Every structure is written in C-alpha cells, then in structure tokens.
Structure 1
Amino acid sequence: MRHAPAPHEAAPLEALPYYGGVYPMSAAPAGPAVVLFENNGFLGSLPGVLRRLSRDGRVCGVYWNVEGDNRLSYAADGRVLVGLDAMFWDEWTGDDVAVLEPELRAMTDLLAGDEDDWQAAAMTVVELVTGVRLTGEWLSGAHPYLTFQRPLATEPRLLTRS
C-alpha cells in the first residue's frame, strides 16, 4: 500500500531533484487554496490525479510543453469536468465549455486580440476559477515540495455486480 508523500523542506524550483524517475511538485498555501506547481512535469494534468485532488473540492490546472501539447483542466467533487486543448480555443464545443462558460468566454475574449497569448489566457481562466494568480515572485521563491514516482498509485476499483 502506498502512502501520501510527505512534504520536503522549502526549496527554490532550480534546487528540486530531477533524477531516476523522481517528479517533484511545489506545494504552497495561497489563501484558502493550495498551489501545486510542476516545472517540467505533467502529472497534475492526468485524469486520475485530477479526480483524487478534487475529491473534496475543486481543481483547475494548465499544462503545456515545448511541442504545443497542452491541457486546460477543471475537476470538482472527484470528477474531471473540463479537459480542453487551450491552443485551439476556436474548436471548443459541448459540455466542457458550458461548465466554465463565463471563465472560458473571458479567455476567448483575450485570445480574439492575440491568438499567440493562449498560455496567459489559460492561466487567466485558472485565476478566475480559483482566485489564485501564479506570479513571477511566487515562482522565484522557495516552497515546500512533494516527490512522486511513476507509476502513481491508482484509485481502488469499485466492485460491482453484474
């Protein structure tokens, strides 16, 4: 049985360990919320992780890499409700859009002025949903962090009768 990782002492992003399958994630309180930040990571964008993190609340996140792979996600009460490609906002349809309609409308309004600013627009959605802004000051500070190894523990399967 795996246990939740214990937090390590505060460290700046450049001092976090990246070796042999270790994935660090900074974790710090931000008012009534908690900011989780992965530098060069994607674990927080996985549906199983989003479900677990949102079990008793809400989670909003943005992931992107240098190849343009990205995901704007929103989960609440243990369910992933939104999973959108933030770069192709003009192709959004369906229930995903309705769940965050006012926040996503604000994002598309920003993108209508500059399509190349999709990362900043996606981060604006996170701020509108959570009330938390990721700033340069926060990124340059030292924060407690957690380390994970893959594979991540999966949620227990529910037994069902057929």
Structure 2
Amino acid sequence: MNYHDSVLTYAQMLQADGGWLAEELAWTVLMPTSGTLPLNEVAQRVARSNQPAFVEGDFEDAAAANAVVVEATGDGAMVVDINMIAATPDPEFVAEISTNAKVWHVSWHTALSRRMIYAVNRRVLAVIPLLDPAEAFGEDLSAIQPELDALADTQTAPWPTTEATALSLIETRTGARLSLDWFEQPHRAVTVSY
C-alpha cells in the first residue's frame, strides 16, 4: 500500500464505527537499532517490572486489568493503549523505553493534546505537540524532516487528515500497521502499575 492510500485507510478507520478511535489512542512502535527486540523485554520496559503480568482478551478486558496491548511487529513491538493507562505519551517515558531502539509514538485524547514523539537510544529527537510541526522541539528535528513536512501539509486539511497522516508516517517508518479488524481481535496485554 502506498503512502497516500495508507493515509486514506487510516482516515476511514478513524471515522468508522462512530469514530471511537478518534477520541483516544496511543500507539507506540519500538524497532531495534540492531538485531531483534524480544516482546518480553518490551513488556518489562512498559510495565517497569522484571516480572510483567499479562492478561488475554479484548481492549475492555485490558482496560479492566489496567493493561496495554504489547504485540510483536517485525523485529520490534508495538504498544497500543486506547484508554491512556500507560505513560507512553510522556516524552521522558518514550526516551526511557528507547534503549537500543528507535521509538515512534502518536497519541491523542479528547481532553489532552495530540502529539508525536520520536526517540532513539534514550534521546528524544523530536516532540510534535498538537501534531503541528510549528510547535516541534527536540534534540534533532532534522531526523524527522520528511514527517514534519508531511504534517505541515495537513494543518488546514479537514479532520482526521492530520491524525491519519501521523499514523501512516509511523507505519511507513516501522512497517507496523493498525486496522479496525486488528482492534476487534483478542490480544495479549501487560499490566501497568505506575
């Protein structure tokens, strides 16, 4: 699927089924800087525990257990939190879990600001508050210049173009993908206790 088709697909996903995903979503993808990134290690980082507890079920089950979905994707893993249970929207947390990894994060909440974060090896290279490149800051914005340009082109576009573009940019960079079908399936989630 090319980039523009991907943006359209994500826009359709955000508008489907009453648009519940448009209200709240946090998607974080970790890709190793070399080798692979074991799923259990990602779960330990996200749970901040050497003995993470897992639950199986749908997203309602995960929310009831104070858990977020952690799933393998290629050589890395993704963390999906539709109830803002974890600290993934926090740049410091994204930096913390990025040891030996490139981490892409996008999130929004009806009561909180939208944002995109990119961190590598415990360094926050870019934070894009409000998904607006004019607000971006970080150690190396040039590392995500194509993403900044793509988001800049959406600032006057109708909703949900900016959010769909952010999701598509992460898919393009990592190969990870979200879909409505994926959200309807049961998943393994890790309990978060902080």
The TM-score by the shorter chain falls in which range? 0.7 to 0.9
- Alignment of 1:15 with 2:61, yes or no, is yes
Larger Rg: 1
Is the contact between residue 107 and residue 121 of structure 1 (CA under 8 Å) also seen in structure 2? Answer: yes
How far is the alpha carbon of 1:49 from its aligned partner?
1.8
Identity %: 23
Is the contact between residue 23 and residue 148 of structure 1 (CA under 8 Å) also seen in structure 2? Answer: yes
SS state of the match for residue 192, structure 2?
strand
SS state of the match for residue 51, structure 1?
helix
Find the aligned partners of 1:83 and 1:92 in 2 and give their Cα distance. Answer: 6
Is the contact between residue 61 and residue 73 of structure 1 (CA under 8 Å) also seen in structure 2? Answer: yes
Report the count of equivalent residues. Answer: 145
- Alignment of 1:6 with 2:67, yes or no, is no
Q: Which residue of 2 aligns with 1:160?
A: none
How far is the alpha carbon of 1:29 from its aligned partner?
0.6
1:139 is aligned with what amino acid?
F
How far is the alpha carbon of 1:128 from its aligned partner?
2.0
Find the aligned partners of 2:62 and 2:149 in 1 and give their Cα distance. Answer: 36
1:114 is aligned with what amino acid?
A
User: In 2 relative to 1, CA 81–135 (structure 1 residues): closer, same or farther, beyond 3 Å?
Assistant: same
Structure 2, unaligned runs of 5 or more:
1-47
Structure 1, unaligned runs of 5 or more:
151-162
Q: Which residue of 2 aligns with 1:137?
A: 181
Find the aligned partners of 1:57 and 1:118 in 2 and give their Cα distance. Answer: 26
SS state of the match for residue 100, structure 1?
helix
Is the contact between residue 107 and residue 125 of structure 1 (CA under 8 Å) also seen in structure 2? Answer: no
User: In 2 relative to 1, CA 80–141 (structure 1 residues): closer, same or farther, beyond 3 Å?
Assistant: same
